[in-house]
Structure 1
Amino acid sequence: MILSFFKRLNIWSKERFPLINLITAIVMVLSTKLFLTSTPLVLWGVADIAAVLFIYLHFFILRVLDEHKDFESDKIFYPDRALQKGIIQLQEIRWMGWLAYGAQVCLVVFVLAKDLQTYILYALVLTWTFLMFKEFFVGSWLRPRILLYSTLHLLVSPLMLIFVIQSLTLPLLSVKTGVVLLFSLASGFLFEISRKNKTPEQDQKGEISFSLAWGQGTTALVIFNLSCLNSLLMILICLQAGISQWATILLAIPSSLLNMFHQKRLRSFANTPSLAFLKKAQDLSGLVSIY
């Protein structure tokens, strides 16, 4: 029975909560420490690992809440998903969400919380997450306004980073911190807009998407510009962190190549919107967003 559950959970997680979430959490904490400590040597301790787990667990909590919030609409738009097909039950996902929340609270109480301000910031993260789940109590008005809807939901990433910065006793009020928060927001927008870029056939089903609101060409252009901004911010973080110019150049070369391939795939999808081209473009968007 237990083995069966973990097999079913694995099927669901591959589809709805893949490994890229853990990689993203590591990159968020690593880039933050690199930039705000201005040193190329980042020593990882218990608090740093706890910060990664905090972000990773919160990503999971957000996914569980989304599965509950969108369960009925996903039956219409995505009937082949594991949850909608009954491979795993909503109640089972809910219990996993509660376990993740319990583990996160333990990390906060026993490792990350340094003072009252840290607890207040954690409460702010939880409050914003609850408002996201409730769609800020104006869901029917907010959902058609997809850019505003996405912006409000993506603000949880900077809020998580502010909590992490405070818990790791890094400088909170500085221009550098603003750059780090902008990087997390740009990465989030890149991933979110790519995720909600659909084929014409998918748009015809009526689900709200950026491609439906803006058109294929404009959406592709926005995604490409965000990927370039993301790469520039990462290079800035590397330079500020004290990494040598040659090492930064070596990092910039694959970043530039990624953006070139990304542009090519976005152009291919804009010219010939198909699921095959869309999947390739979305895979590259995910890679660029964490590079």
Structure 2
Amino acid sequence: MSAPTLEVHITPEQLGAALRADVAHGLTASPKWLPPKWFYDARGSELFERITRLPEYYPTRTERALLERYAGEIAAVTDPRILVELGSGSSEKTRLLLRSLPGLERYVPQDVSETALRDAARRTADEFPGIEVHGVVGDFTESLHHLPTGGRRTIAFLGGTLGNLVPDERREFLSGIADVLDAGDHLLLGVGLVTDPAILVPAYDDAAGVTAEFDRNVLSVLNKQLGADFEPDRFRHVAVWDPVAEWIEMRLEATDEMTVRIADPGFDVTFAAGEQLRTEISAKFRLPGLRDELRTAGFGEVRTWTDADERFALVCARR
């Protein structure tokens, strides 16, 4: 068994610069917003793992069940020699797929966290000694040109993360994936589907308050990384279904008027009482519309697998 290898395309200094740029841009906008990728420091990752086990949060367990049930069919459709996973995290669900890919030679997990990626790559290499594991540290929206070429490839993007991108970002991202794939390569997506808001909203606003703690944690990240002086307890977690855009918005609402200092890069942010800061969107899809988006991006044949309640789907598109 060979040890897993890592190539690093984003340094802590570059991550810090990206955070400062996002904060300067998002907190001076109207309305205010932050990208969801900044949730995931060690504490944020721990809280998200707790969220995935909550009774209200159906996406993770539904996607896992779909992978368990249909991994063989997905393998028959894709038959890759190289499997690339964007935003791989712990790679836990992906290992269900790896067991069903007898021709796989190489697994390439990509994640922004070098620590998380190194740990996941080691565990995957231990479990699958016949597969070469080569991790790529970088932002999934900017790492496509670092991906390996040659051989039959499948890119996996699971967990519903596609829904965190607004439509323009999504078009650019899907087109970028199509550009780096060769004819006959595949893209495997895990996406949430439009369903009853009475089911959707509690998945992002659980009764135990874990998601609220996760949402407020982004303010603690800014305090630690940028010397900000947010008081997270002065913000209320809000989850709203937008029936026009067909996405969930997570927001933090200021409970009273305040001014927050962001020491690095050095500016003040004012909040009115009741003002909201958007921290995440999670778009939900209708399969005909997603097929159209994939075809516009440059993909041909599209296969889908859904759960009985049609709340989540695995979507496989051929370049």
TM-score, L = length of structure 1: 0.27
Whichever structure has more strand as a proportion of its residues is 2
TM-score, L = length of structure 2: 0.25
Whichever structure has more helix as a proportion of its residues is 1
